[in-house]
Structure 1
């Protein structure tokens, strides 16, 4: 692995890395927003109910509630860039009339995540990214300002592409409609017991075919998806002051032990540690 650039601050991260022998990246979410700039390699990027086979210089956008994973289709040299950022990084530029996070927040989960290489170049998003990297490589007070200004310009360009994608004359992406309906059903019924037999009866589809179709379309198993979504919901509920035991039952886990293991596996911390860490950051 050759890391060409890494810049980190509390609310903004820039990374540029080349990997000789890539390995699959398991299902995950971020506690921030991500812009993923694909340079080279051979991979499929799975986000919620959609599989994106990427071409060089495609841009992927995900928010903090979209499950995603990367599966490499060969061991070709892999190069990518990403930016992780939190909304507060650009809060001073937001206005009542214009929300720069529209392209990230106001989408159906798993929809319109990709900006094509053609649009990236036409909107000069690639050139703005280079400017961000140039200033991140030599951080100074003035470069921090320049870096943020280029990033704001890039978000505006991304929003303009997003507006074009949502125009009624633009042909929409193709989705497996049955899988989309199953995803919607799962997200609306996380507090209930969800089994393959239930999904089979509800959607009139053989459960073994359902498992194969769901995995092919989303990159996740049904159980994996349900577990991640329940943990994500629990993260929000814990911050309201609800006890971990009550949260476990509210989000659909049968017992606290199962909830605890799943929460720690996915977040890397226990429910108590998660709340403590959040409170520490909030009080800084």
Structure 2
């Protein structure tokens, strides 16, 4: 596989995408992100969930919120059934459901990136959410009069419950990401504009390069090279949306070669840097 394709941008084409899945194989080998918010409810299985530089072993009733900017992946640790419900929602859709006094996207937006993503639902809360998701499944398969209004009502209820759960929780999830991998990711994040090689990382982290590479691939699903490339592209997108020129965005995000920047950006984002900046794609997230 081409390393530059290991990181997946999984676009959501509709305002709402609902999936209730039971699998016995891994679907989340690599980090990915969406152009929509995500509610993720874990029901059963033996699964680790990675968000940015953190990792959590999930328990039944764990509810996760993910913003479009947050890279994440799930990894099943065995072949037992892995059951979860995911609901992807476009920001514009949530905005339409919100009111001046009730911002339904608060649980996604008002927290640091990669932090505060998980709350654990007690049994009563879990059953309340499962009742609503069951209603939603039925509504989404119906063409009855008023189905669209009922759908919006259920989604609004789910978002109210989710926001209240995050506002009221005292739950602190245990981060099990190995320290070496976290340090590697943190160093890369703080030094994207510098030349970053495996040899350099080995020197600053005082660790054998083979061990760094092996551990990083195991816990992120990515090679260090592809991870650096993707973080640089994400930084360049931020600069472009802020009005920076393509040339400035290229070099300020750590690319030393303009042609390579254009080629890599276009391949991963699906459009050229110029078109991205012109169309304001990130504003649609």
Q: Residue 25 of structure 1 aligns to a residue in which SS?
A: coil
Identify which of 222, 225, 247 aligns with 2:224.
222
- Counterpart CA distance in 1 for 2:227 and 2:259 is 19
Q: Residue 146 of structure 2 aligns to a residue in which SS?
A: helix
Q: Residue 149 of structure 1 aligns to a residue in which SS?
A: helix
- Counterpart CA distance in 2 for 1:69 and 1:41 is 15
- Counterpart CA distance in 2 for 1:127 and 1:119 is 12
Q: Residue 122 of structure 2 aligns to a residue in which SS?
A: helix
Q: CA deviation at 1:65?
A: 1.0
Which is further off, 148-157 or 213-222? 213-222
Cα 1:21–1:186 change in 2 (3 A) is closer
Cα 1:187–1:9 change in 2 (3 A) is closer
Q: What's 1:118 paired with?
A: 122
Which is further off, 94-103 or 131-140? 94-103
- In the alignment, is the contact (CA less than 8 A) between 1:48 and 1:218 conserved in 2? no
Identify which of 162, 168, 173 aligns with 2:166.
162
- In the alignment, is the contact (CA less than 8 A) between 2:31 and 2:220 conserved in 1? no
Q: CA deviation at 1:47?
A: 1.4
Q: CA deviation at 1:109?
A: 2.9
C-alpha RMSD of matched pairs (Å): 3.4
- Counterpart CA distance in 1 for 2:165 and 2:258 is 45
Aligned residues: 271
Identify which of 47, 68, 73 aligns with 2:72.
68
C-alpha offsets along residues 258-284 of structure 1, whole Å, 9 cap, x if unaligned?
3234324433344345456657x97xx
- Counterpart CA distance in 2 for 1:107 and 1:126 is 26
- In the alignment, is the contact (CA less than 8 A) between 2:22 and 2:82 conserved in 1? yes
Q: CA deviation at 1:70?
A: 2.8
Identify which of 37, 43, 60 aligns with 1:33.
37
Q: Does 1:195 align with 2:209?
A: no
TM-score, normalization by structure 2: 0.76
Q: CA deviation at 1:33?
A: 0.8
- Counterpart CA distance in 1 for 2:218 and 2:24 is 26
Cα 1:19–1:218 change in 2 (3 A) is closer
- In the alignment, is the contact (CA less than 8 A) between 1:36 and 1:82 conserved in 2? yes
Identify which of 67, 84, 91 aligns with 1:87.
91
Q: What's 2:108 paired with?
A: 104
Cα 1:232–1:204 change in 2 (3 A) is same
Q: What's 2:6 paired with?
A: none
Q: CA deviation at 1:96?
A: 4.9
Cα 1:92–1:129 change in 2 (3 A) is same
Q: What's 1:46 paired with?
A: 50
Q: What's 2:174 paired with?
A: 173
